[in-house]
Structure 1
Amino acid sequence: MAPTATAPDAHNPKTFDVILGKVPDDFKSLHEIPEEYAWTNLNEHPSLDSDSVPIIDLNDPNASQLISHACRTWGVFQLINHGVPNNVVEDMESVAQSLFSLPAEQKLKVARGPGGISGYGLHLVSAFLDKKLWSECFTILGSPLEHYAKLWPQGYTKICSITEEYDKELGRLSSRLMWIMLASLGISKEDVKWSGPKGDNHEAHVLQLNSYPACPDPDRVMGLVPHTDSTLVTIVHQSKICGLQVFQEGTGWFTVPPVPGAMVVNVGDLMHILSNGSYVSVLHRVLVNQTQQRLSVVYTYGPPDNVPISPIPKLLSASHPALYPPVTNWSEYIDTKTKLKGKALASLRLYEPLTN
């Protein structure tokens, strides 16, 4: 039997086992799109090239208000002057480029095992439409040392140092953004019990590197299916190639163009629940390019895994009751989302919010 590794779908990184023997050694070996890769509903809604997605300068005196407005209306924004040094970002992208440039047999040395999260994986199975996806990923949970030692025996110490520095910087930024978002709702650190007395508890996080290779027929395939993030906050560095799109109900898909020095910030499902629906969990997807590879570095930030998540009591009143029941913990929510094929928020919602 061919070796297996778990391929993360849009909702749960532990759901599917993929027979690696059925996967092409290199995406470049496919010059025509096999039928099992074909998607028929890519253009169900229009794709719009637009500068509508907010770009916010974290040094702007009004940054908090701008972030709050973006979270309420879009659920996503691009952030500049975020404080993460350019060299740290560039070095991390170089690590991703080096990793995905390795031969398939080399990458498979660190393939994630069945049911695992960390390691190399192939985005080849959609959770609910059973279509193959034109992408691959590398997920880092905890220390990357064991993976990098197998991939770069001579240079893993430097690679680890780059990854750990990026992880540290993004953790600091994620925490800062979370508290800006909550403070804009009138929430203090004392109101969020799991954050610790000073709001300095260590939240859970995952770092994932994604590669979307050039595709001979990009209008028929998907890089990553439409989904929302099961997090508080997700921060994405995208390379210079377009591909990320976010959905606005009644309008269509808006491309989020790469902006030099900017990070894309997504509101996740758990922030939507904490805010009692005030902040929008953004639906997004990734398209692929006909001639160029696209890379992204995704930092997902959530609460400690063992804490329950529910609307913050301070936001509730007789006229604004809780829209969601408590979720036992982050892992349970991901499991629920997987079982409900991405429709967890809609199914958990107790009723529609009251309008004035």
Structure 2
Amino acid sequence: MKYAIPSFRLTATALVALALTTACDPATEIAPIPAVTVTNSVYVINEGSTNGAVSLYDKATKMVQADRFAAANSGRKLGPFLQSMTVVNDNGYLVVNGADEVQVVKMADFTAVTTIRGLSQPRFLVAASADKAYLTEWLGGFPNYTGRVSVIDLKTNTVTKQIAVGSAPDEMLLLDGRLYVTASYGNALTVINTTTDAVETTVAMPDGPKNILRDGKGNIWVLCSKYLATTDYLVRFAPSATAVGQQVRIAFPSSYVNGNLRTNAAGSKIYASLGSGTYVLEPTATALPAAPLIRRNFYGLGIDPQDNTIYAGTGFTGRDKVIRYTMTGAPIDSFNAVVGPNGFLFR
């Protein structure tokens, strides 16, 4: 909006007064424009059975490359059960659960760099810095899993330390110098000091904490869903107020397919894909909405940080698809996946 300049002179005192008045007037203040995250490609993590695969979806052309790793590495396959993918620096870390390894690739062309071996049922990797990452691992078998977190030196891609944590650890959250580690067959989060790499404390949870994130208000959300439990929960708490009595616990019927806790880039919306549908919650929610945003459950879920488009993987059948939805839950289109699209990475 342009303003007309009156045809008279202001004294220096008047100019200063006008500047101060304008600076303090909320009506005239211009809010900073938030930076927009631009994404051009979507990497689809296909868990697979015999072999996992990373599909590459080009947003502009809507073309899909089914197996980016095989195409870049002379047809070589990743191995069974690709659990997750994380990008650190210029490398991608592909966590191959069934092969007990992490395959490192160059993001520029997806050619193999090295393989981190000597692992046990690895699950998720998060980077604390350009030089250091943490990796969750399962030990043992159902139902007597134990767990550990391996510390990875990203300069050498080797394990430098292993930390015992709760049973069957899955996703992790880095926050203010602490690593919060889930335990999908336990009932507590393990909190690790990232300076000392020592366990600091635990946080009591309902059975089966497996998905974890931080919302835009600084609170931690955990999805707790344990096989054969009777009730599952979404738990919200402040990092400074972790006691059971200080937690908000949202209960709902237990289901083996309860999973996929995600947030938009601003942390202003929480998405949870449950057996009864896929819900969107406010950070202040104390109950599930009366109706889901989308009336179906998904095997994988991702939210594009550019425009909040929802990417949803349909299952583990061999005829799987990724369906795209608007932020209001209206279907846009779909494209073919490989087997078990369980996650998405936006670049």
TM-score, normalisation: structure 1: 0.25
- Structure number with the bigger relative contact order (C-alpha 8 A, sep ≥ 6) is 1
TM-score, normalisation: structure 2: 0.25
Give the number of the structure whose residues are more often strand, by fraction. 2
- Computing the radius of gyration from Cα coordinates, the structure with the larger value is 2
Give the number of the structure whose residues are more often helix, by fraction. 1
